[in-house]
Each structure stands twice: as C-alpha cells, then as structure tokens.
Chain A
C-alpha cells in the first residue's frame, strides 16, 4: 500500500544547529514533493517544492533533497532559530494527480 512516513517523534535541537527532517515514501512515483510548515492552530503554509529531476533545492536557510532511488526527501534548516519551531509536513502528489498526500508531520522545537 502507499505510505508516507515522517519521524513521529518530536525533534529538539539547540538554536544555531542544523535541523534535519526525514520523509520516506513507498509505492509512489511522485513527479515532485512539497514541504509545508504548520504552526499550532493554523493551516499549513507551503515552503518548498522539489521535482524528481532535482537533487537539491535551497531557499534562504532551507534546503531540501530528493532521492528517488531511496524514496526519501530530507529537509534541512540551517542556523535554526526558536521561530523555526513548528510542525513540518511533507506532501506528494498521489498517482491520480491533483490530490496531495500528506505525511503526519514532524514537530520541531528549537531551544534558545
């Protein structure tokens, strides 16, 4: 069956360190993968999209990699700040297109 998995345990890191979040998927062949940020009590907000022919994408302190052989995407926040504390969701387009399938999200907590 199709599955998207993110670290279910919260990630706690110290301010200034690099946070790395993982998204693994099985039985999909997504053309691209997206990452969203969700703050408590709010809707998710789109951050980055990476296509299957792109190995890496950067936006300011964010970096996303996409390994279609491993079926895995890594999401990095460098020089993390307490304001980066949130839940991060990965999402990919299901085989029908148009519909996004979301992972459960990983909660990140950055301590000062």
Chain B
C-alpha cells in the first residue's frame, strides 16, 4: 500500500514565523503535490513537482515555496506565516501510467495549521 506521511497532524505558529511542512511518500512516485483545503473552497493546489528539484506553481502559490531535494520528500515552506494561511494542508503523490490509473493521487493525513 502507498503510504504518504506528513510531519505533523496539528501545528500552531505565530504570525511572521517561517513554517516547514514535510511530506514523505514510500512508493517511489514521480509526482508530488501540496494542497490547502478550506470550508467552501475545496482543495486548492499550491505547488506540485514532477521530479526531483523541479517545481511548478499551482493555483495559489503566493506566500509559499517548496523544496524537493529527494524523490520521496516534498516540503512546503511558509516564508512568513500569516493568519490567512490557517488551513488544512494536504500532501499527495501519484505515479503517471504504470500499474495504477494515471493521476490517481494518494493523500497524506493532513496538517491542520493555525497561525495566531
């Protein structure tokens, strides 16, 4: 079974702090994604990566950056946390083609971040 883990389930930070959210997948997937999920807005894509050291902006990249130094790990960075970044953050991975339906995504459990 694919396993996607996220470093924290709950996190509380102060405005202006630099925040790191870590995601690790154990299935050697090429693709990794970061979403945020807010009531009434659904899942919104922040950044994604198709390969090591490669990143692409999603729909709402402002205020975020990412890092993918190793294939299994994809980090989301909030450079200077703000209260409007309080949200549920979800990491996902997928493998194009291969044995599974293309683009099926496997999600981690999520990190609920509160910025005070």
Interface residues of A (CB under 8 A from B): 32, 34, 41-46, 49, 89, 91, 93, 97-100, 102-105
Contact = CB atoms under 8 A, between A and B. Distances in A.
Given A43-B90, A46-B104, A102 B110 contact: no
Interface residues of B, number: 26
Nearest to B45: A99
16 contacts: A34-B101, A41-B110, A41-B112, A42-B109, A43-B4, A43-B92, A43-B107, A44-B43, A44-B105, A46-B106, A91-B105, A93-B102, A97-B103, A98-B48, A98-B94, A99-B58
Interface string B19-55: 0000000000001010000001111010010100000
A1 to B, nearest CB: 12
A37 to B, nearest CB: 11
Nearest to A105: B42
Contacts of B106: 46
B42 A102 contact: yes
